């Protein structure tokens, strides 16, 4: 139809994919009201309703499902073609959005950010720390960072860093008052500083030794989803904390904290950068993938610092 353009269809596809005008508007870089008006005008020109709207939800009508099924692959082909053409440019540019859990942001990505942006000054990097597993495509991210057990099989995944360790730690003063655990089960009698994820899940503490895995449910006076708060609490002698070793390496070296149950804290693979499978990633993402690969090969990166 001559009165439609690609922006109308892209706007509809964004709303249909996210089922949310606010998220779709952010992805399209327009206002939610403007996007809603564009969709109403599209429906008027087509003469059919494409979306069921309520104050709380958005759903596709039969006509909307039909339209999305036909234009979805075509829009992806157009997007891939544009990315491929942009990839011919000598200097990568544009926005790059990455979603990652806080430990991966703070321990793995943070040291890369300044060198990466210095090497690619035309790229605008946006990093969002989020523990909850999300659909990075639906949420408008170019890539995500997760550990191996949480990677979707339809994604391309590349390692970002060397193996990591957890460490169970406490202050010398706490151990003098409460004793030193010799086995993970001993932690059931200790004051543990636990975690509560955004989803409400309170994860068990997992220990592994010689292929044997043991999980315990930590009990204690504090649960938090703030790493900074948990670190302050353990440094203040509140109890025992299980945390990525890199957060407390300096504390251990200085004797402010003591490592517990080290023989039960086997190394595990570091995080992976993952992104949708396609032959030509966006130039900014391609630049970051190449940068990360070179970063891992630097001398002195046998462990994450």
Least confident of 152-161, 235-244, 265-274: 152-161
Task: State which fold the 94-163+269-296 domain adopts.
Answer: D-Maltodextrin-Binding Protein; domain 2 (3.40.190)
Query: 170 with 260: CB under 8 angstroms?
Result: yes
pLDDT in tens, 149-168: 666 677 889 999 889 999 99
299 phi/psi in degrees, rounded to 5: -60, 140
Give me the pLDDT at residue 46, please: 86
Torsion of the alpha carbons at 217, 218, 221 and 225, rounded to the nearest 10: -90
Kindly state the average pLDDT of the residues 266-277. Answer: 90
Give me the pLDDT at residue 305, please: 35
Taking all residues of the chain, what is their mean pLDDT, rounded to a whole number? 88
Give the CA distances from residue 90 to residues 125, 284, 288, in Å, rounded to whole numbers and listed in that order.
Answer: 18, 11, 15
Give me the pLDDT at residue 1, please: 47
CA 138 remoteness from chain centre: 13
Which two three-digit tokens encode residue 303? 């462990």
In the block, which residue shows the tokens 């220990």?
207
**Domains 6-86 and 94-163+269-296 are alike in CATH topology:** no
In the block, which residue shows the tokens 């087509």?
46
Quick check: 303 pLDDT over 50?
A: no
Give me the pLDDT at residue 185, please: 96
Task: Report the alpha-carbon distance of residue 187 to residue 120 in Å, rounded.
Answer: 47
Quick check: 301 pLDDT over 60?
A: no
Quick check: 140 pLDDT over 60?
A: yes
Quick check: 42 pLDDT over 60?
A: yes
**Confidence band for 22, pLDDT divided at 50, 70 and 90:** confident
Give me the pLDDT at residue 26, please: 83
Query: 244 with 237: CB under 8 angstroms?
Result: no
Q: What is the DSSP code (8-state) at residue 58?
A: E
Per residue, the 3-state secondary structure of 201-245, as one string, reads CCCCEEEEECCEEEEECCCCCEEECCHHHHHHHHHCCCCEEEEEH
* DSSP H or E run through 4: none
pTM: 0.67
In the block, which residue shows the tokens 């504090």?
222
Quick check: 193 pLDDT over 50?
A: yes
**Confidence band for 296, pLDDT divided at 50, 70 and 90:** confident
How much of the chain, in percent, has pLDDT values that exceed 70?
91
Task: State which fold the 166-264 domain adopts.
Answer: D-Maltodextrin-Binding Protein; domain 2 (3.40.190)
User: Which residues 6+ apart lie within 8 Å of 3 measured at CB?
Assistant: 45
- Residue length, the chain? 305
The three-class DSSP label of residue 261 is coil
Kindly state the average pLDDT of the residues 205-234. Answer: 94
**Confidence band for 230, pLDDT divided at 50, 70 and 90:** very high
The more confident residue out of 3 and 74 is 74
The three-class DSSP label of residue 280 is coil
Quick check: 3 pLDDT over 80?
A: no
Smallest CA-to-CA distance from 42 within 33, 52, 51 is with: 51
**Cα distance from N-terminal residue to C-terminal residue, the chain:** 57
- Please count the other Cβ atoms lying within 10 Å of the Cβ belonging to residue 40: 14
**Confidence band for 216, pLDDT divided at 50, 70 and 90:** very high
Smallest CA-to-CA distance from 112 within 294, 295, 304, 244 is with: 295
Task: Report the alpha-carbon distance of residue 242 to residue 228 in Å, rounded.
Answer: 13
CATH architecture of the domain formed by 6-86: Orthogonal Bundle (1.10)
Q: Delimit the domains of the chain by residue range.
A: 6-86, 94-163+269-296, 166-264
Kindly state the average pLDDT of the residues 135-158. Answer: 83
Q: Output b/e per residue, 180-210; b: 16+ Cβ within 10 A.
A: ebeebeebeebbbbbbeeeeeeeeebebbee
């Amino acid at each position: 139809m001559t009165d439609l353009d690609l922006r109308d269809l892209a706007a509809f596809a964004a709303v249909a994919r996210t089922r949310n005008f606010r998220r779709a508007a952010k992805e399209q870089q327009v206002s939610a009201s403007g996007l809603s008006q564009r969709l109403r005008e599209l429906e008027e020109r087509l003469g059919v309703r494409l979306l069921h709207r309520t104050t709380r939800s958005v759903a596709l009508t039969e006509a909307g499902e039909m339209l999305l099924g036909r234009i979805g692959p075509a829009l992806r082909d157009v997007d891939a073609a544009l990315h491929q053409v942009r990839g011919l440019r000598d200097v990568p540019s544009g926005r790059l959005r990455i979603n990652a859990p806080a430990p991966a942001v703070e321990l793995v990505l943070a040291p890369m950010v300044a060198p990466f942006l210095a090497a690619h000054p035309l790229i605008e990097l946006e990093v969002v720390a989020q523990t909850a597993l999300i659909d990075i495509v639906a949420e408008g991210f170019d890539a995500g960072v997760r550990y191996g057990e949480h990677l979707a099989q339809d994604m391309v995944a590349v390692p970002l860093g060397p193996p990591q360790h957890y460490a169970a730690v406490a202050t010398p003063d706490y151990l003098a008052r409460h004793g030193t655990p010799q086995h993970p089960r001993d932690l059931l009698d200790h004051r543990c500083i636990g975690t509560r994820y955004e989803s409400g899940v309170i994860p068990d503490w997992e220990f592994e030794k010689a292929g044997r895995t043991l999980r315990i449910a930590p009990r204690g006076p504090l649960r938090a989803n703030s790493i900074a708060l948990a670190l302050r609490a353990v440094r203040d002698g509140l109890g025992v904390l299980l945390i990525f070793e890199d957060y407390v390496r300096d504390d251990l070296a200085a004797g402010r904290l003591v490592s517990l149950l080290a023989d039960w804290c086997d190394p595990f693979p570091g995080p992976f950068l993952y992104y949708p499978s396609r032959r030509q990633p966006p130039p900014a993402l391609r630049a970051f993938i190449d940068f990360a690969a070179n970063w891992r090969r630097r001398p002195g990166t046998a462990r994450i610092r």
